[in-house]
């Protein structure tokens, strides 16, 4: 959906943006003809700093370059430290697609954590996917591995992402030390119904105690198959 996300970011003034399925490449000029790349999004948002972890890569231009797809954190504040954690699956820099349904046959699942100079820890994770948004035992294990990255963190914490599960999932109990604003606001749907018709609130923003929040919003602008979700916080 070339241009949709860059337009959205130009129209809003965010200090931190967390992205899943973001794309980048050393052949960025070529890739940018077809999709909004991370560099495009940095320009559109005005956010200078970024951290990235790739879930998979695929050859471009007959093997002359590689496109990476993964989790990205953009920030107005300098990044003090970065941690990338393998959660499940296996990274492939030569991803192949199933001709039957166009889906990747496998990918790595990684969580990305940054510590900003203002003291805020930000974690984003594109959750382990199962057809049932309630998840299973593997979903619980993956979320426990992710939660362990911040469970003992000192200072304010912000976690967000398409976790691929609803609040009632047993896997979400691993995050009960945080406040889930998707739950606090009674949000029932974060999908755009491009592929699903059933209400599923699988996109979550969670915060630690002591963070003040306001203006939680599930945006109606069409930027992807998921809605953009935002909140104002004060630490």
**Six-digit token string for 106:** 């496998």
> Which residue is it, tokens 């990476």?
68
Q: What is the pLDDT of residue 104?
A: 44
Residue 92 confidence (pLDDT) above 90:
no
pLDDT digits (tens, 9 = 90+) for 118-153: 999 999 999 999 989 999 999 999 999 999 999 999
Task: Give domain limits for the chain.
Answer: 4-234
Q: What is the pTM for the complete model shown?
A: 0.92
Contact indicator for 165, 202 with CB cutoff of 8 Å: yes
pLDDT digits (tens, 9 = 90+) for 146-169: 999 999 999 999 999 999 999 999
Contact indicator for 119, 235 with CB cutoff of 8 Å: yes
Q: What is the pLDDT of residue 164?
A: 95
CA distance 234 to 163: 24
pLDDT digits (tens, 9 = 90+) for 59-80: 877 777 788 999 999 999 999 9
pLDDT digits (tens, 9 = 90+) for 20-62: 999 998 777 777 768 899 999 999 999 999 999 999 988 877 7
Q: What is the pLDDT of residue 100?
A: 47
Assigned CATH for 4-234: 3.60.10.10
Q: What is the pLDDT of residue 62?
A: 73
Number of C-beta neighbours around residue 108 at 10 A: 16
């Amino acid at each position: 959906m070339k241009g949709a996300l860059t337009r959205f970011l130009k129209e809003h003034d965010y200090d931190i943006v967390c992205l899943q399925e973001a794309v980048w490449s050393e052949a960025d000029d070529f890739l940018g003809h077809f999709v909004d790349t991370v560099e495009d999004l940095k320009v559109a948002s005005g956010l200078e700093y970024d951290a990235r972890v790739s879930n998979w890569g695929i050859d471009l231009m007959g093997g002359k370059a590689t496109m990476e797809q993964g989790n990205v954190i953009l920030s107005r504040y300098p990044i003090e430290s970065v941690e990338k954690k393998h959660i499940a699956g296996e990274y492939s820099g030569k991803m192949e697609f199933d001709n039957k349904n166009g889906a990747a046959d496998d990918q790595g699942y990684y969580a990305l954590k940054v510590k900003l100079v203002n003291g805020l820890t930000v974690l984003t994770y594109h959750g382990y996917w199962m057809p049932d948004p309630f998840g299973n035992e593997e979903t619980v294990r993956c979320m426990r591995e992710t939660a362990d990255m911040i469970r003992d963190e000192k200072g304010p914490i912000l976690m967000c992402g398409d976790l691929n599960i609803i609040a009632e999932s047993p896997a979400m109990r691993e995050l009960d030390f945080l406040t889930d604003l998707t739950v606090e606001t009674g949000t029932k749907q974060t999908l755009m119904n491009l592929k699903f018709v059933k209400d599923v609130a699988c996109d979550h923003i969670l915060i630690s105690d002591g963070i003040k929040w306001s203006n939680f919003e599930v945006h109606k602008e069409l930027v992807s198959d998921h809605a953009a979700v935002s909140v104002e916080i004060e630490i």
